[in-house]
Structure 1
């Protein structure tokens, strides 16, 4: 099967941006009415997002304790990435390895020409060659779909709202004086920001879950083996229970990037960035049958 543009993903990205834009207008209008000076926050967060977008790969690798791997160090891994990138019609990304028992992988970078694919030592020990290439192809599909850039832009408003909720709450609760009308603008800002943060958070999570389906399909098309990726997802999910809890806690902040997220209890599953592994495997099995009939 040939790679085709995923219009479902594109329309969802567009719809998410439009809805976030509506929230943005409502957000600024409500805070302006409340007398809150938002300009400084927007400028600071704009610079922060700029830094995050252009240095996201270095930040992500550092948070994982990963290093860029030379071809001499991991020749088979480099060979697989080179071949799969060529099949996906992409420039070869940097290859990084994180020394971690957690079996996972992620892609980062602001564009197709400035991307990095990172795998953990745990995933290389867990999967066979076909399964590992299925995971690598999944990450290359993220790069091809420009997911990192889109999700960084989409999270901008949510980040601003969250900061106002957090610091506004601390400010209003940290002073015993200034009751009455002087406190009203602060509480209006907090309530508006809380609503905006919740709605934008849910919109971004919905987009994030669909992009995983799109990357699964794209990765399976690159390798031509949906069953290999399905098998990899099953092995990774099963292996998570055997990883020490300390390691899981250290890496949970990278959930949005991982091929399989680290979830913690009911709340972690409710607001997870990825669809359920069972549903992903079912879709890959359907794609396998579809490929067999072509």
Structure 2
């Protein structure tokens, strides 16, 4: 219920922001340029509002315990390890958090390299040895150092814009075709037009997800390579092998792309993470 509320809150913020900007600019969505501006405002607005809210959303949806004063030796070691890796990677110290889950997983989020958060599950902490946990932390720190959260938001913004634009453009062409030469003739009708736009949004969105997921997989290889530089390839390989033998990771969709364990899919094209055997082969 909390996740649904936060999702609706984000979308309401996007609608409000886009409406204000369109009103100030006097955008007419009936023109090609106006339609593109409309789609860009919604496409990029949603991505960047989500990016700015990402740490807050993670804390609320994942029930994170952010470590401020370490309560035990494990938390003290986590803080020290992330601090050392952040210094090596040339970024500001991220917030460090733990969340309760039997799944072996971890993720990084945040709006910038110097305003980020790294979180690990209790399942990962108690299932991996210290070297493997160190490698997972290095992988997440590398995501932050590579600016992956920002580049992912930019890519998602571009994709959202062109999906919305293409769907409405094609729906307009279909409507014009049905009207023929008579501008007052019967076209799709308002409800039918909205239904066509909805279906095209789904179709183009599915096709666009192949591009986004491809970039996400490339980004995972880069984070693995970054972890290998920070702690050594052998530790990263060992961590991936442990993930391979463990349970599938489950996280909300807005966090899953930034987790160490992306889970499984029927097709690699739909996966945000490469198969673990391919990641291990790349490190070797």
Q: TM-score, normalised by structure 1?
A: 0.69
Who is 1:274 aligned against? 273
SS in 2 for 1:109: strand
> Deviation digits for residues 16-71 of structure 1, max 9, x if unmatched?
xxxxxxxxxxxxxxx9689x966555434443333212111221232222131124
Residues 45, 157 of structure 2: 8 Å contact kept: no
Higher RCO structure (Cα 8 Å, ≥6 apart): 1
Who is 1:181 aligned against? 187
Deviation of 1:192 after TM superposition, in Å, equals 5.4
Change (3 A) 1:163 1:257: farther
Change (3 A) 1:259 1:213: same
Change (3 A) 1:195 1:240: same
Who is 1:109 aligned against? 110
Change (3 A) 1:217 1:46: closer
Who is 2:11 aligned against? none
Deviation of 1:270 after TM superposition, in Å, equals 4.2
Aligned length: 236
Quick one: distance in 1 between partners of 2:203 and 2:66?
Answer: 41
Change (3 A) 1:188 1:100: closer
Deviation of 1:130 after TM superposition, in Å, equals 0.9
SS in 2 for 1:218: helix
Change (3 A) 1:201 1:97: same
SS in 1 for 2:187: helix
SS in 2 for 1:106: strand
Instruction: Indicate yes or no: 2:224 matched with 1:216.
Output: yes
SS in 2 for 1:254: helix
The runs of 5 or more residues in structure 2 that have no matched partner are: 1-28, 172-184
SS in 1 for 2:273: coil
Who is 2:240 aligned against? 233
Deviation of 1:95 after TM superposition, in Å, equals 0.4
Who is 1:92 aligned against? 93
Deviation of 1:197 after TM superposition, in Å, equals 2.2
> Deviation digits for residues 214-271 of structure 1, max 9, x if unmatched?
1100111011x21111111111221116x8xxxx3x64653211111122x525x540
Quick one: distance in 1 between partners of 2:165 and 2:60?
Answer: 24
> Deviation digits for residues 132-165 of structure 1, max 9, x if unmatched?
1111111111111100011011112444537997
Alignment of 1:23-42 (within 5 A): 40=38, 42=40
Residues 117, 139 of structure 1: 8 Å contact kept: yes
RMSD over equivalenced CA pairs, Å = 3.3
Residues 157, 200 of structure 1: 8 Å contact kept: no
Who is 1:47 aligned against? 45
The runs of 5 or more residues in structure 1 that have no matched partner are: 1-30, 170-178, 286-294
Change (3 A) 1:65 1:163: farther
SS in 1 for 2:117: strand
Instruction: Indicate yes or no: 2:157 matched with 1:156.
Output: yes
Change (3 A) 1:118 1:164: farther
Quick one: distance in 2 between partners of 1:277 and 1:218?
Answer: 16
Change (3 A) 1:71 1:282: farther
Deviation of 1:94 after TM superposition, in Å, equals 0.7
